[in-house]
Amino acid sequence: MQHAPTIADQETPLLPTLRRFLPYLWPRDSRAQRLRILLAALCVLASKAVQISMGFVYAAAINHMVPGMQPGVAIAIGLVLAYVGMRFSAVLFDNLRNVVFERVGQDAARRLGVSVFAHLHQLSLRFHLSRRTGEVTKVIERGTKSIDEMLYFLLFNAAPTFLELIAVLIIFTVKFSPYLALATAAMVGIYLFYTRRITDWRNALRARMNRLDNESVGKSVDSLLNYETVKYFGAETLEVARYGAIAEKYCDAAVKSNNSLALLNVGQSLITNAMLGLAMGWTVWGWSRGQFSTGDVVLVNSLLIQLFRPLDMLGMVYRTIRQGTIDMAAMFALIDTTAEVEDVPGAPALAVAGGAIQFDDVHFGYDAERPILRGLSFVVPPGQSLAIVGPSGSGKSTIARLLFRFFDVSGGAIRIDGQDIRTITQASLRAAIGIVPQDTVLFNDSIGYNIGYGRAYASDAEIRAAAHGAAIGAFIEQLPEGYASEVGERGLKLSGGEKQRIAIARTLLKNPPILILDEATSALDSRTEGEILATLGMIAASRTTITIAHRLSTIADADNILVLDKGRIAEQGNHASLLQRKGLYAEMWERQMAEGDRDGPSPPQNIADSVPVTG
C-alpha cells in the first residue's frame, strides 16, 4: 500500500523551524521567562568552565605526587580535594540549570500547544471531516512532548559541546601541538559525518514507525468510537485483524530501528577510542623524551574523555533534535492550514432585530463537481416557523450548516435581518442560533456540564431551570449524583430521549432568537417523540425556527413548508395547501401514512407559558 508523503518523510530544515519556534521560547510579554533562559545559560558556561579546569587541577595534583616531598604531598592532597569540589560544582551547576530552565521548556510547549489547539477550532468543518482525529491529536502530542527534549539537548548538550571542543582545540594548540589539535578536529569531523549518516538512516526507519503508529492510533480510535457498529455486525475479528496487521508492521520497523543503534554505537566507539589511543600514545612518547610531564599525559586523557562523553550521546542528540524538528514542523503544518471560513477584517457583530432569515439564490456544493443547492431562495419572517422536507441528499442538513457558516456559499447570499452572514463575525452569528441536532453528541463529563455548555458561566439555578424546561429535571434529580452524573463518552450512558432532552435544555439555556431543529426526533419512538415535540414546541414559540424533518406529521403545523428535490424547491406552502396540490409532498405524506405513521404524534402544543426562560 502506497502512502502519500508526510512531514516525517521529508527533510525538514532545522533553522527555519527553530526560527518559527523562537517566539514561544523567547516571548516578548514574559520578562521572567527570558531571565530564566539567561540564568540557565550562565549555569551552562559555569559548568563547562569548571569541567575544563578540572583536568588542569588533576594534572597539577599528579605532578606534585613526588615521593619523599611532604610539601608536594600536601599540595597534591589540596589539589585532589579541589578536584573533588569542582566535580561537585559541575553537577550543582548542571542541576541548577535544569531547575531554572524547566519552566521555560514547559511554558514554551504550553504556548505552542494552546496555539495549535486554538487554530484547530478555527479550521473549517471540511478539514475535520477529512482528517482522522486520532492522527491530529497524535501530532499535537508528539509536537508538545518533543519540545522539552529538543530544547534540552540543543541548548545543554549540542551548544556546550561545541564550546568545549573550541576550548580543547585552543588548549591543545597552545600547550601541546597544533598537530594534536588538527588530529582532534579531524576525529570530530569524521565522528560527526558518520553519526549523521547513520542517524539519517535511522530517522527514515523512525519516520516509518511514526507513520505506522499514526495509522494504528487512527484505526484503534475509529474502531472504539464505532464500538456499537462493530458489535452489530460481529466484526470484532476483522477489527482485531486490521489493527494486528498495522501493529505487526510497526513491530518490524521498531526492531530495525532499535538494532540500527548497535551499528551507531560500535562505529562511534571505534572512532573515539582510535583518537584516544593516538593522542595518549603521542603524549607518552613526548613524556619519554622529556617534553611533557606525567600530569600532561593525564590532562590530555581527561580533556578527551570529557569531550567524548557528550559526543557519545551525539547520535541520540542529533536524532532527538531532528525528530523534534519533524514533530514541530508537523505542528506548524497544522498552524499553516488556512481556515476556509474567516471573518472579514473589521467585521461587526450581528444585530438581531427579529431574526428574519433569507436565502437569496444560494448555490453550494461540497465539491465543485457535485452541486447540492441550486439557486435556493426562501424567506422566514421573524418569529415564524419554516419546515424543510425532501428525500435524502436533497440538501436539507446542508442548509443548517450554511446558516451556521461552517461553509461559505459559492453563489448567492444568506441574510439575517438583512445582514449578509459573510460580513459579520462568526461568533456573533453562532451566538444567535441554537440547534437541536439529529445526533446529539455529549461531552464525556457530567450532565450539569453538558447542559451548562449552552451558556458560559451559567449559574446552577439557571441550569436546573433549563433542565426542568426540557422536562428532564426530575429525572436528573432522581439520580444518585444528580447533575454531577457522568454521561459517558458521547453520552452513551443515556438513552436517545434523555440525550435529546439534554440537548434541548442546552438550547433553552442558550436562549437564542433563531432555532434549528435538524431531524431532532427521527431516531425516537412515537411516545418519546411526542413528549419531545411538545418540549420543542415551547422552545420554538416566538422564535424564528427552521425544522428539518423526515416524518411529515411532526411539521404539520409549520407556518411554511419547503419541499426540496435535488437542491431546488419543488413545492412550497402550508400542510393543507401542499396536500391539495397533490404533488411530491402529498405523495410523501401518503407513503408515510401507508407505512404506519397515521397514529404518529400529534402536532406540538404551544405551552410557552410554562417555559422557565423567555424567548
State which H helix or E strand residue 413 sits in: strand 411-416
Choice among 67-71, 151-155, 410-414 with the minimum mean pLDDT: 67-71
Is the pLDDT at 603 greater than 50, yes or no? no
pLDDT in tens, 329-347: 777 777 777 777 888 899 9
pLDDT average, residue stretch 49-74 = 71
Contact 300, 283 (CB under 8 A): yes
Model-level pTM?
0.62
> What is the arrangement of strands in the sheet containing 357-364, beginning at the earlier edge strand?
373-380, 357-364, 411-416, 419-420
pLDDT in tens, 350-359: 998 888 999 9
pLDDT average, residue stretch 472-488 = 89
Is the pLDDT at 186 greater than 50, yes or no? yes
What count of Cα atoms within 13 Å lies in the side-chain half-sphere of residue 30? 15
- Vertex 155: Cα angle to 152 and 161 (nearest 5): 110
d(CA 233, CA 11): 44
pLDDT average, residue stretch 352-367 = 90
The crossing angle, in degrees rounded to 10, of helices 70-122 and 314-336 is: 20
pLDDT value at position 601?
A: 43
Q: Enumerate residues 6+ apart whose C-beta is below 8 A from 442.
A: 450, 487, 490, 491, 494, 499, 502
pLDDT band at 597 (very low <50, low <70, confident <90, very high): very low
Q: Which residues are registered as beta bridge partners of 378?
A: 359
> What is the arrangement of strands in the sheet containing 385-389, beginning at the earlier edge strand?
433-436, 514-518, 544-548, 385-389, 560-565, 568-573
Burial class (CB in 10 A: 0-12, 13-18, 19+), 415: middle
Give the distance between the most distant pair of CA atoms in the chain: 125
pLDDT value at position 610?
A: 31
Contact 467, 476 (CB under 8 A): yes
Is the pLDDT at 517 greater than 70, yes or no? yes
Contact 271, 258 (CB under 8 A): no
Is the pLDDT at 146 greater than 80, yes or no? no
pLDDT value at position 129?
A: 64
pLDDT average, residue stretch 386-404 = 86
Domain with CATH 1.20.1560.10 in the chain: 13-336
Residue closest to 615 by CA, chosen among 525, 523, 539, 520: 539
Q: Coil, strand or helix: which one is 255?
A: helix
Contact 210, 329 (CB under 8 A): no
Could you identify the residue written with the cell 573550541? 166
pLDDT value at position 414?
A: 94
pLDDT value at position 609?
A: 32
Is the pLDDT at 287 greater than 70, yes or no? yes
- Give the percent of the chain with pLDDT over 90: 10
Grid coordinates given for 225? 468510537
pLDDT value at position 132?
A: 60
d(CA 94, CA 152): 11
pLDDT value at position 6?
A: 41
pLDDT value at position 608?
A: 31
Q: Enumerate residues 6+ apart whose C-beta is below 8 A from 69.
A: none
pLDDT band at 421 (very low <50, low <70, confident <90, very high): very high
Strand residue runs (E) in 543-603: 544-548, 560-565, 568-573
The crossing angle, in degrees rounded to 10, of helices 294-312 and 159-171 is: 160
Is the pLDDT at 528 greater than 70, yes or no? no
pLDDT value at position 9?
A: 41
Contact 424, 431 (CB under 8 A): no
Could you identify the residue written with the cell 420554538? 540
Q: For the chain, what is the mean pLDDT?
A: 80
pLDDT in tens, 80-112: 788 788 788 888 888 888 788 777 777 777 777
pLDDT average, residue stretch 71-87 = 75
Architecture of the structural domain at 13-336: Up-down Bundle (1.20)
pLDDT average, residue stretch 468-492 = 86
- The alpha carbons of the chain give a radius of gyration, in whole angstroms, of 35
Q: Enumerate residues 6+ apart whose C-beta is below 8 A from 575.
A: 552, 555, 556, 557, 558, 561
pLDDT value at position 594?
A: 82
pLDDT value at position 566?
A: 84
pLDDT band at 261 (very low <50, low <70, confident <90, very high): confident
d(CA 427, CA 406): 12
pLDDT average, residue stretch 377-381 = 92
Contact 359, 412 (CB under 8 A): yes
Choice among 14-28, 250-264, 406-420, 534-548 with the minimum mean pLDDT: 14-28
SS3 sequence of 119-144 = HHHHCCHHHHHHCCHHHHHHHHHHHH
More confident residue, 491 or 525: 491
Q: Enumerate residues 6+ apart whose C-beta is below 8 A from 84.
A: none
Choice among 192-201, 229-238, 309-318, 445-454 with the minimum mean pLDDT: 309-318
d(CA 426, CA 421): 8
pLDDT value at position 4?
A: 38
More confident residue, 311 or 66: 311
Is the pLDDT at 122 greater than 90, yes or no? no
pLDDT band at 424 (very low <50, low <70, confident <90, very high): very high
pLDDT average, residue stretch 283-295 = 82
d(CA 574, CA 555): 10
Q: Coil, strand or helix: which one is 566?
A: coil
pLDDT value at position 291?
A: 82
d(CA 81, CA 198): 42
Burial per residue of 265-300, b for 16 or more beta-carbon CB atoms within 10 angstroms, e otherwise = eebbeebbeebbeebeebbeebeeeeebeebbbbbb
pLDDT value at position 420?
A: 93
pLDDT average, residue stretch 607-615 = 33
CATH of domain 357-432+512-610: 3.40.50.300
Domain with CATH 3.40.50.300 in the chain: 357-432+512-610
pLDDT value at position 429?
A: 92
Is the pLDDT at 613 greater than 50, yes or no? no
pLDDT band at 583 (very low <50, low <70, confident <90, very high): confident
Grid coordinates given for 385? 416557523
